Structure 1
Amino acid sequence: MKKILIVEDSPSERDLITLYLKNNNYQVISTDNAEDGMELAANQQPDAIVTDITMEGINGFEFCRLLKAYPDTSQIPIIACTARDRDLDRFWGQKQGMDIYITKPYSEQELVTAIESIIK
């Protein structure tokens, strides 16, 4: 069973992503902040990470940049699920190493398809 780390500060959004992933037979670990997300990514070695961009403390862009700079987590694919839908945000996400950028609202199928496309 593939393991996905969710880093999302909104409890309702985190619960929705968890539901979508469990419906599709993924194992889910989650946290509400990027600091804990860094530790979980290094220790749990998930198959992919789903993160928000706008979070307190370390935001999703910084989180991605930190993950990609650390050898133990640099190869983990990252999907941004965010309300930030400007072209500049997408460009900045790509520059930080995000593999896929999805804007809210998104469907269960859209999220699952994105994950399937980046998990080898």
Structure 2
Amino acid sequence: MDQTQTTRVLFNAQCPVCNHEIRQYERYANRHALPLRFEDLNTEDLAIWGLTRDQAARRLYVLKDGALYGGVDGFLVLWQDMPRYRWLARIVGLPGIRWLASVLYDHALAPLIYRWHLARLRKQNLKA
């Protein structure tokens, strides 16, 4: 697969919520031979992304055509590249809905999932 034509999705495979959702997209993309690549932030070299591990764990990131998209914008790029989800990209991409989705993702959902991630890490460190 030509890397320049591939949309790359960075996600946290250690997060049960993130992993479940992204693996569904990955299975769909693989079934339809879509130029999407799904990369676990815990195993990938993040230098190409220009992100620290902590930054990457805070939200979804998508790299397409040399541009980095985060949060809802990342989801929109991902959904647009998958025919089954284009309708969702069109709806969520509408100005008022995009604003609301971004506020909810950036200020509620992503921080909640990130705090859950940190709590899981602390718990794992206590067991080690």
TM-score, normalised with respect to structure 2: 0.34
Which structure's residues are more often strand, by fraction? Answer: 1
Larger Rg: 2
Which structure's residues are more often helix, by fraction? Answer: 2
